[in-house]
Amino acid sequence: MRIAITGSTGLIGTALVRSLRTEGGHEVVRLVRRAPTAADEVRWDPGRQEVDTAGLAGCEAVVHLAGAGVGDHRWTAAYKQEIRDSRVLGTRTLATALAAMDTPPRVLLCGSAIGYYGDTGDRRTDENAPAGHGFLPEVCVAWEDAATPAQDAGIRTVFARTGLVVARAGGAWGRLFPLFRLGLGGRLGDGSQYWSFISLDDHIAALRHLLDSEDLAGPVNLTAPEPVTNREVTAVMGKVLNRPTLFPVPAPVLRIALGEFAGDVLGSQRVVPRRLLDSGFTFRHPGIMEAVRAAAA
């Protein structure tokens, strides 16, 4: 297939482009927000609601991964607006442009997040659960709603509600590895909150599975089958890296350091991938030990 991707330079985008090209033999077009400098680049400008759809001609699929990092900066009012706008405006711009094409792609695979569900406590939560309350759930609802033009045009639209990706090179987990290697890792708060994780390899495989599964549309949770507590994550990180985990971070300290975002770090999300499993997807790293070992290798 000819596949277009936004956010191709991020952690997930980089790995997905490599996998599609080297393992799948697909042609990949990368949407960029500057003047194209390579033959595989196509310009788009979400702020001006512009997409060079001529460069997307012949694309059978579009994967939309672009968005400001949730944990990259302290949540000021300005940065919260950037988090929202980068997702909602970008998705609406892309979905509207694709819907207007003479021959639109067959599938639009949009990034989303399990932040949609908010704090689920110790309740196992699948795609049937309603949206939670708070900033991230509100962003996720608006983010997914922004793809409506594509859905109305008959484009199969899938929302990949992603959990915490276990990777050494980036994302939230990428920040944990250096701390644990230095022996400075520890549980966050009391450590009882659930973390719904997925290995980077499984995440990329799941995205490709969603592209190929013609009967899948709507939300699909991209998390490993069994979420674990932060306390369990801490123990596994210490064991795999052979380092002590003696420095728990108290909740008040996290709130001082992270501000409003600390509430989400300390929150619990026990999210399970019901639709992914029902569709026949097989995890390579279903457990936290396998996922961390794969990332540390």
Residue at 218: amino acid letter: G
**Strand partners for 108:** 62, 157
Confidence band, pLDDT 50/70/90 cuts, at residue 258:
low
Nearest-angstrom CA–CA distance, 62 and 104: 10
Report yes or no: 103 and 62 within 8 Å, Cβ to Cβ.
no
pLDDT in tens, 19-42: 999 998 999 999 999 999 999 999
CATH architecture of 2-163+200-222+272-283: 3-Layer(aba) Sandwich (3.40)
Domain edges within the chain: 2-163+200-222+272-283
The pLDDT, as a whole number, for residue 257 is 61
Q: Of 140, 145, 167, which is closest to residue 221 (Cα–Cα)? A: 140
Determine the length of the chain. 297
pTM score over 0.85: yes
**What are the two backbone dihedrals, phi and then psi, of residue 237, each rounded to the nearest 5 degrees?**
-60, -45
pLDDT in tens, 63-83: 999 999 887 788 899 999 999
Secondary element (H or E) of residue 118: none
Poorest-pLDDT segment among 151-155, 209-213, 235-239, 263-267:
263-267
Report yes or no: 123 and 78 within 8 Å, Cβ to Cβ.
no
Rg (CA), the chain: 19
